[in-house]
Amino acid sequence: MKALCVQSPNNIVIEERPMPAINSPTEVLIKVKAGGICGSDVHIYHGTSSVATYPRVIGHEIVGEVVETGNGVKDFSVGDRVIMDPVISCGDCYQCRIGRRNVCGKLKVRSVHVDGGYQEYIVVPQESIYHIPSDLSWEEAVMIEPFTIAEQVCSRAGITKEDIVFIMGAGPVGLSILKMVKLYGATCFISDVMDYKLNAGKEYGADIVINAKEVAVKEEILKLTEGNGATVVIDAACTTRSFEQALTYVCSAGRVITLGFGKDPSAINQLSITAREIDVRGSRLHNNKFPAVIDYFRSGKLQVKDMITHRFDFTEIHDALGVIEDPEIENGKVVLFF
């Protein structure tokens, strides 16, 4: 079978590999049908991920069809349509015991620490897959995993309909969070420097869009909130500077949610947090969010067709990456088909 492997930074190749085999009674063999390209995949490709190891088969937004099951598998059958959970936790450490498996002390993530799903077949344990609705296309189903990230962010932020949420960055992650925030019933502002991304934000329900190149963002946020600031600021831009700025946009007793993995330090002073009792919370991966998000898709509360802009055969990976990295090409979610 074929697999897309990042052998070293900036070097991704199509490898021939043996078919994976079921080695445990509770494992399933999945024929991969489609996979989304996430920003983290791009970072691993370029060697800018602070956590990935090489060589690595990337891809964690993966859907497919069950083609074989171990004799101990009870909840899945050949022909079932499923989505893969990339989180691998130990179940025994302190974090797992208190229900925080997404930050397990022995955490591994498929496509980061172990091989992911950009391959024609993959074997995973039954506890790492979920059924997906039969009327959902493969490309739509790919979007379930990014929305588990959005649901985790909203959970970490404790969002209610009373909140005024400001999302910094209208890329695929920021826009997914926007759609989820609106499901929670909160008011939501979103900023970016690209007009086409801001236009998407308008289409997806943002109450206000802010072009950060054209206005002074802090003054705009204060004006929109009668001088108070946003109750929740979500840093989906993930730069050293955006983290610094987030603390200037949030109100007293507000929450700042950060998703970035950068190692460079940001200039943050204690007074800006302590004097106003700001909560600064990280949000990583997801913590058992697949069932809730799948229900959103099944019920029709989440519509995602408009977020998918480009489709490629997986062997065209270099062309797909080129679309994402070309600033002249307007793009949203890019999906690979297998």
Query: What sections of the chain are H helices per DSSP?
Result: 39-46, 94-97, 138-142, 144-157, 172-183, 195-203, 217-224, 240-249, 270-274, 290-299, 317-325
Looking up tokens 């399933």, which residue turns up?
28
Task: State the chain's mean pLDDT as an integer.
Answer: 97
In angstroms, rounded to a whole number, what is the distance separating the alpha carbons of residues 281 and 73?
38
pLDDT digits (tens, 9 = 90+) for 111-143: 999 999 999 999 999 999 999 999 999 999 999
Could you tell me the two tokens for 311? Answer: 């489709």
Tell me the pLDDT band of 101, cut-offs 50, 70 and 90.
Answer: very high
Tell me the pLDDT band of 264, cut-offs 50, 70 and 90.
Answer: confident
In angstroms, rounded to a whole number, what is the distance separating the alpha carbons of residues 320 and 336?
8
Count of C-beta atoms within a 10 Å radius of residue 176: 26
At 40, is the secondary structure helix, strand, or coil? Answer: helix
Percentage with pLDDT > 70 across the chain:
100
In angstroms, rounded to a whole number, what is the distance separating the alpha carbons of residues 137 and 131?
13
Tell me the pLDDT band of 222, cut-offs 50, 70 and 90.
Answer: very high
Report whether pLDDT(263) > 90.
Answer: no
Residues 130, 153, 282, 256: what is their CA dihedral angle, to the nearest 10 degrees? 180
The residues, any chain, with a CB within 8 Å of residue 36's CB and separated by 6 or more, are: 61, 142, 143, 145, 146, 333, 334, 335, 336
Give ∠ CA 237-173-333 in degrees, rounded to 5: 120
Number of residues in the chain:
338
Note whether 39 and 9 are within 8 A (CB).
Answer: no
Residues 171, 323, 308, 120: what is their CA dihedral angle, to the nearest 10 degrees? -120
Burial of 247 (C-beta count, 10 Å sphere; 0-12/13-18/19+): buried
Which domains does the chain show, CATH number per domain?
Answer: 2-143+308-333 (3.90.180.10), 147-282 (3.40.50.720)
